[in-house]
Amino acid sequence: MENNTERFEKLLVKNGLKRTAPRLQVLEILSSRDSATSQPYLEQVMGKDADRVTLYRVLQAFEEKGIIHKVLDQQGTANYAICSEGCSAHEHHDEHVHFNCDNCHKIYCLDSVKIPALKVPAGFKVEHLNLIATGLCANCSSKVN
């Protein structure tokens, strides 16, 4: 049974990225959480382990390689989650619904909920769909209730 670090190192090598401390740390943090992780949170947790700019560049590289995907919450804040399916540098397959809790502000990837196809007016060519639901997550609705 291989540990996380080994898995992540393989992931980096597979994508032609060098195995550096900041990159491994970002992967550790993102994979340890049950919801998407905001850039500000990542920045705070990484502290002085990595420069802000490095964090931005790590996230950008990961997104390009299809390792993570970005979700903007209702305030426009960038949140990141590890891609579950076969995403690659060529194409992402993250067209699932995202749920943004009004109470705890977490963003959940609802991998099981696919975005329904749309009928748009003539002339419009839809390339991607991005659906964010807001409300109360399972955790918060049971507490508040």
Partner DNA sequence: ATGTTAATGCAATTATGTTGCAAATATAAC
Partner DNA sequence: GTTATATTTGCAACATAATTGCATTAACAT
Could you list the residues known to form a binding site for Zn(2+), using ranges: 101, 104, 137, 140
Name every residue whose Cβ is closer than 8 Å to that of residue 89 and which is 6 or more positions away in sequence: 15, 64, 65, 66
54 binds, among DNA, Zn ion, Mn ion, none (CB under 5 to 8 A by kind): DNA
> Minimal distance in Å, beta carbon 60 to Mn ion?
17
What are the backbone dihedrals phi and psi of residue 56, each rounded to the nearest 5 degrees, phi first? -60, -40
Q: Binds 39, which of Zn ion, Mn ion, a copy of itself, none (CB < 5 to 8 A, cut-off by type)?
A: none
Q: Select from a copy of itself, DNA, Zn ion, none the partner in contact with residue 50, using the beta carbon and a kind-dependent cut-off of 5 to 8 Å.
A: DNA
Binders of DNA in range 114-143 (CB under 7 A)? none
- Does 83 help bind DNA (rule: CB under 7 A)? no
Give the one residue of 5, 6, 21, 134 binding DNA; rule: CB under 7 A: 21
Q: Give the 3-state secondary structure of residue 119.
A: coil
Least separation in angstroms between CB 19 and Mn ion: 25
Among 74, 84, 85, 104, binds a copy of itself (CB under 8 A): 74
Return d(Cα 144, Cα 34) in angstroms, integer.
20
The edge-to-edge listing of strands for the beta sheet with 68-72 is 37-38, 78-82, 68-72
Residues 103-132: x where in contact with Zn ion by CB under 5 A, - otherwise, as a string: xx----------------------------
Q: Is 61 in the site for DNA (CB under 7 A)?
A: yes
SS (H, E, C) 20-57: CHHHHHHHHHHHCCCCEEEHHHHHHHHHHHCCHHHHHH
Residue 69, amino acid: H
